[in-house]
Amino acid sequence: MAEYTIREVARKFHMQPSTLRYYEDAGLLTDVGRTETGQRVYRDCHIGQLGSIRCFKDAGMSIEDIKLFFTYEADEAGHIDEIMDLLESRRAAIVEQERLLAEAHAHILRKLHFYGAIRSAAAAGQPRPDWRDFCDVTFKD
């Protein structure tokens, strides 16, 4: 069984050692061993758990929801419905975030097109384009 120092784990996950200590204090990382001098010792199970934590954090899950997930996961058979509800709720939130991001992306593309047209018109000595000509433009990447 491999063992890792706090610095090795922090480097592997591109996070600060203080974040690892916080996850331990918050109850997300459990059973972290200690050396005789009190230094933390992480094992492969912690690496797997940190992978899940990072994924859930990147998906916008709160620390409380991540804690709840791990609590449910500890008794998977007894909490399968709660696990599914929690994950489905997060999936729906991600779909909404994707929709909003797509709208923002389309808005940015319209602005780029509009201001690019202004720059081109100015360089060619032509009149400034009217913004209304760009309101209903849709783009495909």
What are the tens digits of pLDDT across the range 70-98? 999 999 999 999 999 999 999 999 999 99
The model's confidence at residue 50, banded by pLDDT at 50, 70 and 90, is very high
**Residue 97 resides in a domain:** no
The answer as to whether 26 is a domain residue is: yes
pLDDT band at 69 (very low <50, low <70, confident <90, very high): very high
For 25, the domain range is 1-62
Residue 55 belongs to some domain of the structure: yes
Q: Above 90 in pLDDT, residue 131?
A: no
- Residue 17's CATH number: 1.10.1660.10
Residue 136 falls inside a structural domain: no
pLDDT of residue 73: 94
CA-to-CA separations, 40 to 15, 19, 94, in angstroms, rounded: 16, 13, 35
What are the pLDDT digits (tens) for 14-25?
999 999 999 999
Q: Which residues touch 136 (CB under 8 Å, ≥6 apart)?
A: none
Strand partners, 41: 33
33: region left, alpha or beta (phi > 0 left; psi from -120 to 50 alpha): beta
Averaged pLDDT score across all residues of the chain:
93
Domain count, the chain: 1
Instruction: Give the model confidence (pLDDT) of 22-47 as tens digits.
Output: 999 999 999 999 999 999 999 999 99
Give a yes or no: residue 93 inside a domain. no
pTM: 0.76
DSSP structural state of residue 39: -
23 within a domain of the structure (yes/no): yes
10 domain-assigned = yes
Cα–Cα dist 23/27, whole Å = 6
